[in-house]
Chain A
Amino acid sequence: MRRPEPLEIFQPASIREASAIVKEKGPGGRFLAGGTDLVIAMKEKGLSPKYVVDLKRVPNLSGICEEADGSLTIGALTTMREVETSPAVCKRFPFLAQSAAEVGSIQIRNRATIGGNMANATPSADVAPALLALEAGVKIAGAAGERTLNLGEFFRGPGQTAMLPEEILTAIVIPAAHPNLVGEYIKFSPREMMDLAYVGVAVALVLDGKKRCDAARIALGAVSPTPMRAPKAEAVIEKQILTEELAQRAGDEAARECKPISDVRSSAEYRRAMVGAMTKRALLNAAERPGPVAWTERRERRY
């Protein structure tokens, strides 16, 4: 429903100012980043926030920075398109670039921000599993200062995060990764593009020359109230030589530990089966053909 009254919009120039506005105006407001979720929710889903705080005038919230300690900082207002095309991301974590490239269309990715996407806490968000597999953290700022959380602790439920109302997500931090880290993200949805993930699977592995798996991270999207890690599946392959049979077992385990629901898009049983099939495929892809390739080629690998 469209609003009968005019909407109050604030454009603060700092995080401190933004927090202060929320403190003063009280609950019921929303932060605006790219607007690709918020504006649609307001126009078509009856969301009617009391006020909107536009963060786009706050400096230093966007951009991708390779830090001296080997970590990678991605500003909250960095667009999906920037993540997808960033040379640093493409070189170090091509599967993260891939996951960003899976969001909507280019037009949407030119507006949608990675921080907005995380703060919205949609279970099917494409970059969330990739970031979870990279053990990323989030920087949160508020009136009282800044704190850092693991992304795994950050998500609390559909649309719910660990942030207080006046807190703002400022950056995503990907810790320094092992040089042998390889990964893969597979989005499974019936349509080739412009679709939500019915199942999303990200894997990050550290393999030695004999495909022995020194470390394994498996993360799933769209199959539980929040994007989730699959620790039991990870345990299946850790310290083991990755074979097709082992990947299948890990897939079976991931299928067991996910918690999907049935809805108009898909049944829970099918989602579970696809978690199994896609986890296996992601593990084998990551192990067999590592290294950056064009995203169109990466997409082909899901089939």
Chain B
Amino acid sequence: MEQLTIVGKPVTRVDAEEKVTGEAVYGYDLVLPKMLYGKTVFSARPHAKITRINTEKARRYPGVVAVITGADAPWTHGESIKDKPFLAQGKVRYIGEPVAAVAAEDEDAAQAAAALVEVEYEDLPAYFSPEDACKPGAVAIHEDFAGYRKADFIVSGPMPNVCEHFKLRTGDVERGWKEADLVLAERYSVPTIQHAAMEPHSAHAQVDPESGRVTIWVANDAPFRALHEIAEALGVANEKIRLINPLQGGGFGSKGGLKVEPIAVALAYHTKGRPVRVKFNRQETFISTLVRHECIVEIKSGVKKDGTLVARQMALYWGGGAYAEKSPTVCIRGSLPAPGPYRIPHVKVDGYAVYTNKPVSGAFRGYGIPQGAWACEQHMDEIAKRLGMDAVDLRLKNIFVDGDLAYWGEQLHSVGLKETLIKATQAIEWGKKQPGARPTVKRGKGFACISKPTRTPTMSRAGVLVNGKGEISVLAGTVEIGQGCSTILSQVAAEELKVPLERIRMAPLDTDVIPFDASTTSSRSTYHMGNAVRRAAIDVREKLAEMACPMLEAKKPDLAFADGKVFLKDQPQMALPIGEVVRRKLGNEGIVRGDGSYTYEIGKDLDLETGHSDHASAFYMYATQAAEVEVDEETGRVRLLRMAAAHDVGMAINPLNCAGQIEGGLAMGIGSALHEHLVVDDQGRVRNPSFLDYHLATSLDVPKLIPIIVECAEPEGPYGAKGLGEPGLAPTPAAIGNAVADALGMRIYDLPLSPERVYWEIQQKKKKTAA
């Protein structure tokens, strides 16, 4: 392989300076000329018919330009089930659902007028857990479900309010139970949490009165998908919609699909061409945008005395909230690998995405993997304990290795899982026991393994432009959501064109100009867009080489590129800067463009009856994280002492950014393990919609972190790279859970591991022991 000059190097992020100095402009910062201010009226009932809406007083408030309700916006949308209205249509399904909206000359007027909109309700039975909502006889939250437009893969039922039922059937679990020496059944749960991106949600929209064209300024993580979803909902051609994507201050999945966009668009149809901004504050972001699925996981395994897994059966109940959003695909892609990265001959999985009367659940960094892992990886430790086996040995006996046929029917390659397991557990000195500081303080160690698929098949396209000054613009639809894609893609372009990184610029993201990209989700960008940018850069390089042939009196195969120049391989002094090649051929203002596209070609689609697919994912990400904890039995407090995280990234295009992704993932995972829980009470109200009572981990809650990069190259990936965005938090709670169980000699099945929960579990155990 040719020598790499910048790919693989720990270069500083290209956007670091503008962000740390506060210069960067995010979607939330945007101010447009003649802009109006939008404010939303939210449902005050979890499930109710709207019997009357009176907007008279709001309309008369000084400065108000428009007040709209569902009657003014008769559109619905949804990624795979078109069930979600822009504004409530005759009924509401959760507290926080947008019911009406106001546009006014200033924010205060909009706020005051919104408070004057009167809504009357007639309550319906409401369900606040997936288990209650799918009980026989439960009232349908979507009575018109059968009539909704849906994607082909949607399988609903058999219970009430189940909008997706995923089935995986491999072998025969009944036979498995008979062959097993030990059968263990357990139940785990994960609560609702929120993304809590630093930047809350906002969108700006404008409708051109003459052409009817809609322009939306929004930090959406999938601009082309959002554009299509809006066009489809409005019943207009995609060309009628333009999305301009400013910088995004974090999203973690919450800024895909449509959140604030429908409200802004609906208002913009009533403002006579003036742009309107809808900006959610933190509380509105908590109650009305998106949350992560709460999940109840039933898991049962059959295992031989020597630790060989024989059978595993799982049922996962995903609390979808009031609308389907991405619940069907979270259910599919979270349930499919939930039995863990292990060879198991007999597997049966049922995943149910269930409507509830709670805030809408959807994509969240990890896409269903953390919920399954919380159950599966603790369950593995319980099996090890009952067999009297070391937990690492149990994993080694069963984990995926190259060439294994996974239980969903795919032959695996480039599996770096074993290396991550060994390195992560070594880093916390697995096997070495240490006592706590006091008799009432117990120490423990634990770890967890995961594999994570990526959304497949998807497409990325890119363009690379070279001008007469030798400056390069990269046109890519990947959104800089803080993950570092602008640095990674700049490195790829700089590598292929052999120019310094400073010469690369990422073009602003405008769907009128930028080539198509599926989404900035699912840890897919380095792999898919990396390949597309690489191909585009190679395309433009070939064009430059062709143009340089007559100038250097050479044939193309004799030319090479380095240091921003093209030169003759055997006479390096015969060289031309690439900008000069462009100038000589096309004049001073000339531009040469290269294009690239990448789509992962799949074999068969997922089989709806068995869940099988020979290529369920373009690549798999493997990871093991390990934790050492101290638990204070007098208070229940869990203190993390250190955490190691070994991630198979295929190839680290930027090791510094990889370490950052791992550390950021850990910090987020630690919050979800120890603190985070968006509490919804028995009236459907969110009780802690602020950072005062919704506890993210602070820097002081994060212990010494040991990021470990494992490189098991993916042949199809750019330079061997896979992805890394999501797995950083996926095994974290399970690793900490296992460490807590090791410390206490008892297991806790529900998240978060808050001091109060741990304390009462310890008290209960003491009572049982005494009795």
Residues of A within 8 A of B (CB): 1-4, 44, 188, 190-196, 264-267, 270, 273-274, 277, 303
Contacts and interface: CB of A to CB of B under 8 A. Distances in A.
Contacts of B632: 303
Nearest to B695: A191
Contact of B759 (A1, A193, A270): A270
A190 B108 contact: no
8 closest A-B pairs by beta carbon, nearest first, are: A192-B700, A264-B687, A277-B634, A193-B700, A270-B756, A4-B108, A192-B701, A2-B108
Interface in B88-108: 107-108
30 contacts: A1-B111, A1-B112, A1-B115, A2-B108, A3-B108, A4-B112, A188-B635, A190-B674, A190-B695, A190-B754, A190-B755, A190-B756, A191-B675, A191-B697, A191-B698, A193-B698, A193-B700, A193-B701, A194-B698, A196-B692, A264-B679, A266-B756, A267-B756, A270-B756, A274-B635, A303-B437, A303-B441, A303-B630, A303-B632, A303-B639
Nearest to B283: A44
Interface in B574-592: none
Contacts of A2: 107-108, 111
Contacts of A4: 108-109, 112
Given A44-B281, A190-B755, A303-B637, 15 more contacts: A44-B690, A188-B635, A190-B637, A190-B695, A190-B756, A191-B697, A191-B698, A192-B698, A196-B692, A264-B679, A270-B760, A273-B759, A277-B635, A303-B630, A303-B639
Nearest to B633: A277
Nearest to B281: A44
Nearest to A188: B635
A82 B389 CA distance: 56
A260 to B, nearest CB: 12
Contacts of A1: 111-112, 115
Contacts of A267: 756
Contacts of B437: 303
A191 B700 CA distance: 8
A4 B630 CA distance: 52
Contacts of A196: 692
A191 B639 CA distance: 10
Nearest to A5: B108
B354 to A, nearest CB: 25
Contacts of A264: 679, 687-688, 693
Size band of the B side of the interface? 20 to 34
Nearest to A196: B692
Contacts of B112: 1, 4
Contacts of B115: 1
A191 B759 contact: no
Nearest to A105: B698
B548 to A, nearest CB: 56
Interface in B731-765: 754-756, 759-760
A3 B109 CA distance: 9
Nearest to B700: A192
Contacts, number: 56
B90 to A, nearest CB: 28
A274 B763 CA distance: 13
Nearest to B440: A277
B286 to A, nearest CB: 12
A52 B107 CA distance: 22
A24 to B, nearest CB: 27
B58 to A, nearest CB: 14
Contacts of A303: 437, 441, 630, 632, 637, 639
Contacts of B701: 191-193
A79 B570 CA distance: 72
Q: Name the residue among B634, B756, B759 with the largest chain A CB count within 10 angstroms.
A: B756
Contacts of B441: 303
Contacts of A192: 698, 700-701
B587 to A, nearest CB: 55
Nearest to A264: B687
Contact of B675 (A3, A44, A190, A277): A190
A270 B639 CA distance: 19
A195 B695 contact: yes
Interface in B636-666: 637, 639
Contacts of B688: 264
Nearest to A277: B634
A234 to B, nearest CB: 22
Interface in B423-441: 437, 441
Contacts of A277: 634-635
Contact of A265 (B637, B693, B697): B693
Contacts of B690: 44
B630 to A, nearest CB: 8
Contacts of A3: 108
A273 B633 CA distance: 12
Contacts of B630: 303
A196 B283 CA distance: 19
B38 to A, nearest CB: 15
Q: Name the residue among A188, A190, A193, A194 with the largest chain B CB count within 10 angstroms.
A: A190
Contacts of B109: 4
Interface string B96-134: 000000000001110110010000000000000000000
A180 B335 CA distance: 64
Nearest to B110: A2
A265 B679 CA distance: 10
B477 to A, nearest CB: 36
Contacts of B108: 2-4
Contacts of B755: 190
A302 to B, nearest CB: 9
Q: Name the residue among B281, B437, B698 with the largest chain A CB count within 10 angstroms.
A: B698
Contacts of B695: 190-191, 195
Nearest to B634: A277
A195 B679 CA distance: 17
A182 to B, nearest CB: 21
A135 B692 CA distance: 30
A191 to B, nearest CB: 5
Interface string B233-265: 000000000000000000000000000000000
A270 B636 CA distance: 10
Contacts of A265: 693
A75 B396 CA distance: 65
Interface string B682-706: 0000011010110101101100000
Nearest to B61: A4
Interface in B611-637: 630, 632, 634-635, 637
A190 B529 CA distance: 41
Contacts of B692: 196
Contacts of B634: 277
A95 to B, nearest CB: 19
A192 B634 CA distance: 17
Contacts of A44: 281, 283, 690
A273 B632 CA distance: 13
A109 to B, nearest CB: 15
Nearest to A199: B635
B117 to A, nearest CB: 14
B102 to A, nearest CB: 13
A160 to B, nearest CB: 21
A3 B674 CA distance: 38
A140 B404 CA distance: 78
A192 B640 CA distance: 11
Interface in B541-563: none
A191 B754 CA distance: 9
Contacts of B111: 1-2
Contacts of B283: 44
A196 B695 CA distance: 11
Contacts of A194: 698
Nearest to B62: A4
A191 B634 CA distance: 17
Nearest to A274: B635
Contacts of B697: 191
Contacts of A193: 698, 700-701
A193 B702 CA distance: 11
